[in-house]
Amino acid sequence: MSLANLVTQYIVQYGFRIMGAVLVLLAALFVAKSVGRLFERWLNQQDLEPPLRLLLVRLVKALVVILGLLIALDQLGLQIAPLVAGLGVAGLGMGLALQGVLSNVVAGLSIIFTKPYRVGEHISLLGVHGDVAKIDIFTTTLMHPDHSRIVIPNRKVVGEILHNFGTVRQLDLSIGVSYRTDIDKTLTMLRGLVSRHPQVLPDPAPIIGITGFADSSITLSVRPWVQVASVGAAQIELNQAILEQFRAEGVEIPFPQCEVRLLTPS
């Protein structure tokens, strides 16, 4: 039998099956795209993190395409059951080989669903801290105050003690003043200075008062709340403003002093 006759016989015997399989695959791709678009539109109305919405849309599209692929293989006359069993065994082997990756995925889904923190909040864990810049399936990315990035595998986050500052933080400024200082007047001056600062939040109200008594000074504490993004600048500006105000009002910031007495026998 010539090659031309063999090709003709093959096309006659399997051509319609191949054409049907191709049409099924094309239809599956079209349906996957349409279903994914509708599903994404519905997810955008739900209170879900962007990474989770993206993952769910991709899973739905993949399921539709896989279903279309199985139908196409059945159209070609292939046995699907052994193929599915083989894919199951292969999936088990890949799962064992990628335990670390899968644990990051599971941890990422746990973080996205339980929402211990959100993008834009300031968190501290594992000895590092920063603003949450991105939450992915595999990792969480923090932006450090020095503008460097900290990438944490999600499996390291789950189960650890997490300090979530939210979107505001409280500054803790301490100033020592002389025991001869008019405390009421100084505290009133500090309250006015802090309330006028543009980056200090009026609610919660700043906490200003005496926090301790040192050997040569009274320790005053100034604790206002500011936005997380303004922590560094606000602390520097408030320290400078307090120093300038104290100098203008004549409030003494004493140096450490020590009194030494020499006793001589009489």
List all residues 6 or more positions away from 256 whose beta carbon is below 8 Å from its beta carbon.
215, 216
Q: Token pair of 199, please?
A: 């980056």
Q: For Cα atoms 133, 138, 141, give the angle at the middle one, nearest 5 degrees.
A: 20
> In angstroms, rounded to a whole number, what is the distance separating the alpha carbons of residues 84 and 82?
5
CATH architecture of the domain 115-166 equals: Roll (2.30)
Q: Which CATH number fits domain 168-249: 2.40.50.140, 3.10.20.600, 3.40.718.10, 3.30.70.100?
A: 3.30.70.100
Give the pTM: 0.56
**CA 209 centroid distance within chain:** 35
CATH architecture of the domain 7-97 equals: Orthogonal Bundle (1.10)
Among candidate residues 80, 64, 69, the one with its CA nearest the CA of residue 24: 69
CB 264 within 8 A of CB 198: no
Q: Return phi, psi of residue 221, to 5°.
A: -115, 135
The length of the chain in residues reads 266
pLDDT at position 97 = 45
pLDDT at position 98 = 47
Mapping DSSP onto H, E and C, the string for the chain reads: CCHHHHHHHHHHHHHHHHHHHHHHHHHHHHHHHHHHHHHHHHHCCCCCCHHHHHHHHHHHHHHHHHHHHHHHHHHCCCCHHHHHHHHHHHHHHHHHHCHHHHHHHHHHHHHHHHCCCCCCCEEEECCEEEEEEEECCCEEEEECCCCCEEEEEHHHHCCCCCEEEECEEECCEEEEECCCCCHHHHHHHHHHHHHHCCCECCCCCCEEEEEEECCCCEEEEEECEEEHHHHHHHHHHHHHHHHHHHHHHCCCCCCCCCCCCCCCCC
Domain extent listing, the chain: 7-97, 115-166, 168-249
Residues forming a β-bridge with 139: 153
**CA 117 centroid distance within chain:** 6
Q: What is the pLDDT of residues 109-160, one digit of tens each?
A: 788 777 888 888 888 888 888 888 888 878 889 988 788 889 988 888 887 8
> In angstroms, rounded to a whole number, what is the distance separating the alpha carbons of residues 149 and 166?
19
Q: Residue 88, Cβ neighbours under 10 Å: how many?
A: 10
Type of residue at 221: S
Residues forming a β-bridge with 213: 218
Q: Token pair of 92, please?
A: 């088990």
Type of residue at 135: I
pLDDT at position 252 = 86
Low-confidence ranges of the chain (pLDDT < 70): 1-17, 43, 46-52, 55, 74-101, 257-258, 266
pLDDT at position 100 = 55
